[in-house]
Structure 1
Amino acid sequence: MAFGVRAFELALMHRMRDLNPARVEDALADMGATRAELREAHTLWTRTAYAVRAPKGAGRFRMALGRPAFEGERPIGSLTCDVVRWALPYWPGLEFELLIGPGGEVWNQWFVRPSGDRALSFAGLVPWECVVADVGASFPDAVQEEGAAPHHWAVSFRHSGATYRARFIYGLLQRVDPATRG
Structure 2
Amino acid sequence: MTAAEPFGPLDFQLVLLRRMADHQPELVEDARNELGASTARMREANRRWQAMTRSRSTRGTLARYLSVLGPPEQSVRRRIGDLECEALLWRVPLWPDLRFEVLAAAGGGAVWNEWLVRAPGVAGPELRTVEDLRPWSCTVDEVARAFAPARPMEGSAPTRWRLGFVVGGGVGCVGEFTWGLLQRVTVG
TM-score (norm 1): 0.88
Matches within 5 A, 1:54-133: 54-102=58-106, 104-115=109-120, 118=124, 119-122=126-129, 123-133=131-141
Whether the 8 Å CA contact 2:134–2:182 is kept in 1: the answer is yes
| 8 Å Cα contact 2:20-2:178 kept in structure 1 | yes
Q: Which runs of 5+ in 1 are unaligned?
A: none
Provide the C-alpha distance between the structure 2 equivalents of 1:145 and 1:165, rounded to a whole number of angstroms: 9
Q: Does 1:164 align with 2:147?
A: no
CA deviations over 1:10-29 (Å, ceiling 9, x no partner)? 01111112222222122122
- Does 2:44 match 1:35? no
TM (normalized to structure 2)? 0.86
Equivalences, count: 179
Gaps of 5+ in 2: none
Q: Distance in 1 between matches of 2:64 and 2:144?
A: 30
Tell me what 2:8 maps to: 4
- What's the secondary structure of 2:137's corresponding residue? coil
Asked if the contact 1:93–1:113 (Cα under 8 Å) also holds between the matched residues in 2, the reply is yes
**Given the alignment of the two structures, is residue 155 of structure 1 paired with residue 163 of structure 2, yes or no?**
yes
> Aligned AA for 2:166?
R
**3-state SS of paired residue (1:60):** helix
2:153 corresponds in structure 1 to 145
Aligned residue among 148, 170, 187 for 1:178: 187
Q: Check conservation: 1:91, 1:129, Cα contact below 8 A.
A: no
Q: Which moved more, 1:76-85 or 1:38-47?
A: 76-85
Q: Deviations over 1:125-174 (max 9, x none)?
A: 22112101111222123222221211111112222342111110111111
Question: Given that residues 91 and 128 in structure 1 are in contact (C-alpha distance below 8 angstroms), is that contact kept between their aligned partners in structure 2?
Answer: no
The Cα of 1:53 is off from its aligned counterpart by 4.4
CA-CA distance at 1:8 after TM superposition = 0.2
Q: Percent identity?
A: 39
8 Å contact from structure 2 (residues 85, 103) kept in 1: yes
User: By how many angstroms is 1:76 displaced?
Assistant: 2.4
2: CA distance between counterparts of 1:51 and 1:146? 26
Matching residue's letter, 2:152: Q
Cα contact 1:143–1:156 (8 A) shared by 2: yes
Rounded Cα–Cα distance in structure 1 between residues aligned with 2:54 and 2:150: 36
